[in-house]
Amino acid sequence: MSKPVKERKSRPVNLDLQTISFPITAIASILHRVTGVITFVAVGILLWLLSLSLSSPLGFKEAADIVDGWFFTFILWGILTALAYHIVGGIRHLLMDLGYFEELDTGAKSAKVSFAITAALSLLAGILVW
Ligand code: HEM
């Protein structure tokens, strides 16, 4: 049975977003899901580009022009960064499945390490594409 409207209105509500913060392990988990979806979408984009480049000599030129543009270079860097985090975070997940980093403190530490490794890989990806 639903509660009277007056009682529901008096419940404490915190909408001050600046006072809400997620634990680092939650951020690591959300990012792993987000990067999984980005990687999934990226497979479609990259397959489309491959198919365009193989369609004809003109298609190859079109694909080469797209890849040369700054916008696609940026997208490519984003895709590689997302993939890097997904793989690093995925390995962290698999290690947790084996029983490592399961405590709150070790989980938080491994999340930080996975962010640091991803930052380094993202930098390398930037050097690779630019
Ligand atoms: C085309 C490549 C890939 C795509 C599109 C992809 C996509 C996804 C997606 C959408 C999820 C679900 C995330 C969730 O529901 O929270 C997931 C989970 C996972 N991925 Fe990937 N992934 C890819 C490659 C990889 C690779 C190379 C690894 C290697 C480490 C990996 C490790 C994992 C793990 C361990 C999970 C489960 C995480 C959990 O238990 O919550 N994935 N992936």
Instruction: Read off the pLDDT of residues 79-114 as tens digits, 9 standing for 90 and up.
Output: 999 999 999 999 999 999 999 999 999 999 999 999
Q: Residue 54 is encoded by which pair of tokens?
A: 């193989």
Mark 104-115 as b/e (b = at least 16 C-beta within 10 Å): eeebeebbeebb
Tokens of 81: 């960064």
Distance 32 CA to ligand 1 centre (A): 7
In the chain, the number of structural domains is 1
**34 close to ligand 1 (CB < 6 Angstrom):** no
pTM for this prediction = 0.88
pLDDT higher than 60, residue 64: yes
Q: What is the CATH number of the domain that holds 58?
A: 1.20.1300.10
Select from 86, 88, 101, 102 the residue to mutate for testing ligand 1; criterion: most ligand atoms less than 8 Å from CB: 86
Choice from 32, 94, 110 to test ligand 1 binding pocket (greatest atom count within 8 A of CB): 32
For 113, the domain range is 23-129
**Is 60 exceeded by the pLDDT of residue 61?**
yes
- Token representation of residue 39: 């990687």
14, part of any domain: no
Q: Which residue of 27, 31, 34, 39 sits with most ligand 1 atoms within 8 Å of its CB, as the best mutation to test the pocket?
A: 39
Give me the torsion for CA of 24, 87, 36, 103, rounded to 10°. Answer: -30
Q: DSSP 3-state assignment of 48?
A: helix
Structural contact between residues 28 and 42, judged by C-beta atoms closer than 8 angstroms: no
Is 13 within the bounds of a domain? no
Question: 25 CA distance to ligand 1 centroid (A)?
Answer: 17
State whether the Cα torsion 112-129-79-100 is positive or negative: negative
pLDDT at 112: 98
Residue nearest to atom 15 of ligand 1 (CA): 33
